[in-house]
Amino acid sequence: MNMNTRFSLLMVWALMLPTMALAETGLVNPNLADKDELQALPNVDDETAQAIIDGRPYLSATDLDTALAVAMDGEQRQALYARLFRPIDLNNASAAEILLIPAMSRKMAHEFEEYRPYRSMEQFRREIGKYVDDAEVARLEQYVFIPVDLNSASDAEIMQIPGMSKRMAHEFEEYRPYKDMEQFRREIGKYVDDDEVARLESYVILN
């Protein structure tokens, strides 16, 4: 593929990706938000908004927290995380990462880990619903995701990946079965740059 063709493909995919950073959950995603969206958030000025953009992609909540610690103290970051967050992997996130969720207790973080591996969000709702009411389960659910299996996930499951377009979901399915993650990087790298490949890869697994 020559450089002109690759550039054209990247431009097409840029136009196809969703323009809003708000996930279906209502939290702003730091990998997708534009500068105006970021500046509308608590404790985010022009310089901080630009720093968030320049630091992308954030492959974990701890990556984001480390970057923001340069400009904000812990209390300010917690206030921000009520509006902006990089979702965490329910099955692999560390206790430290889970504790970045606003108002998270160590006991609840333990419960998050206790029921691994999660097979579905319905399982998460059922297990965590033993300890908190429905409203709190819904709030916590905003901050988490379960990785999708590249070879078996449905179109609907793939579409739950933040920033996913229908066209990109089609490409995810087009190259099945994936033999390894290197194949995924190579095939999806035909359409988006390395940073975007890495961001998408953080939401998937191969079983």
Q: What's the pLDDT tens digit per position in 135-192?
A: 999 999 999 999 999 999 999 999 999 999 999 999 999 999 999 999 999 999 999 9
What pairing do the DSSP bridges indicate for beta strands 144-145 and 148-149? unpaired
Looking at residue 21, its pLDDT comes to: 53
Domain residue limits at 102: 88-145
Within the chain, which residues score under 70 in pLDDT? 1-25
* Beta strand spans in 101-171 (E): 144-145, 148-149
* 137 & 173 share domain: no
**Domain count across the chain:** 3
* 111 & 60 share domain: no
Please report, for the domain that includes residue 99, its CATH number: 1.10.150
* 112 & 158 share domain: no
Q: Would 207 be classed as within a structural domain?
A: no
3-state helix, strand, coil in the chain (%, to 5): 50, 5, 45
CB-based contacts of 82, cutoff 8 Å, min separation 6: 42, 102
Looking at residue 136, its pLDDT comes to: 97
Looking at residue 12, its pLDDT comes to: 43
Looking at residue 15, its pLDDT comes to: 37
Looking at residue 26, its pLDDT comes to: 82
* 9 & 72 share domain: yes
Domain boundary among 80, 108, 136: 80
Q: Residue 20: what are its φ and ψ, rounded to 5°?
A: -90, 140
* 27 & 76 share domain: yes
Residue 102: cis peptide before it, omega within 30 degrees of 0: no
Q: Would 51 be classed as within a structural domain?
A: yes
Q: What is the dihedral of CA 42, 46, 52, 55, to 10 degrees?
A: -160
